[in-house]
Chain A
């Protein structure tokens, strides 16, 4: 069981790094949202694998369900924001968002 936890957390760290790297590097607003999604996937895996390792998988599942609900609302709202920003600037480049203040 200890090895499984170690393996899962190895993956969690890799996924979290992928998401963070995507958030840092990308200028595309849709890709930034994909980075947030990857980060949240790593969090769900961390929750469930920790729950399995210490024998509290049901509590971990309830927390994961809560997190999935929050995640889908965040994605829906962020996509709505992106579409509205695209309507205003005709671009999904983050660096062109500063023109919104004009």
Chain B
């Protein structure tokens, strides 16, 4: 349990660093580290498929995308002055939010337990993904296609 708490703490810490770092490269790397922490949490929650996707896509691909975008932008722009004084209130609001939610945790758990079950729940992830929730796959394919077309429209070579 103590190592699990350490992972939760690491996730919050790296997310906080990603928000407050002025250097965007360090912020992007902190986001990648937060993804690694979330991966380990998902493994601890016995969700290995989601963890593998999180590690390969979020910690790998998205970090690479962020770093490549940062490398294309001038250094002066990356250290944009954006009124850091407003960030000083962040820990206070965080604490308020967290304490407020702590009292609703039990109600949420009771409400979750009362929810009706889904079809084919006992099946493995593969069967669920390919048979029960196959419409999700169609949606995923459509959104990947849309993303490819948008990137092609942005960076494709024009006819002229």
Listed in ascending order, the chain A residues whose CB lies under 8 Å from chain B are 2, 5-11, 13-15, 17-19, 21-22, 25-28, 30-31, 33-35, 37-38, 41, 44-45, 48-66, 68-73, 75-77, 79-84, 86, 90-93
Residues of B contacting A: mostly: helix
Kindly state whether residue B158 has any CB partner on chain A within 8 Å: no
Kindly state whether residue B123 has any CB partner on chain A within 8 Å: yes
A92 to B24 Cα, complex, angstroms: 12
Least Cβ distance of B68 to chain A in Å? 8
Q: How many residues of B contact A (CB 8 A)?
A: 76
Kindly state whether residue B6 has any CB partner on chain A within 8 Å: no
A75 to B83 Cα, complex, angstroms: 25
Ranked nearest first, the 10 interchain pairs of A and B with the lowest CB-CB distance are A6-B105, A73-B147, A64-B50, A13-B101, A80-B154, A27-B82, A61-B50, A17-B97, A22-B19, A69-B140
A13 to B147 Cα, complex, angstroms: 29
A45 touches B41 (CB 8 A): yes
Within 8 A of A (CB), among B41-56: 41-42, 45-47, 49-50, 53-54
Q: Return the contact of A62 from the options B65, B94, B136 (Cβ within 8 A).
A: B136
Q: Return the contact of B72 from the options A11, A26, A83 (Cβ within 8 A).
A: A83
Q: Return the contact of B125 from the options A37, A38, A61 (Cβ within 8 A).
A: A61
Within 8 A of A (CB), among B87-131: 87, 90, 93-94, 97-98, 101-102, 105-106, 108-109, 112-113, 115, 117-118, 121, 123-125, 128-129
Least Cβ distance of A96 to chain B in Å? 10
A selection of 14 A-B contacts at a CB cut-off of 8 Å is: A9-B108, A13-B98, A13-B101, A14-B94, A14-B98, A34-B19, A57-B47, A58-B123, A61-B50, A66-B139, A66-B140, A69-B143, A73-B147, A75-B62
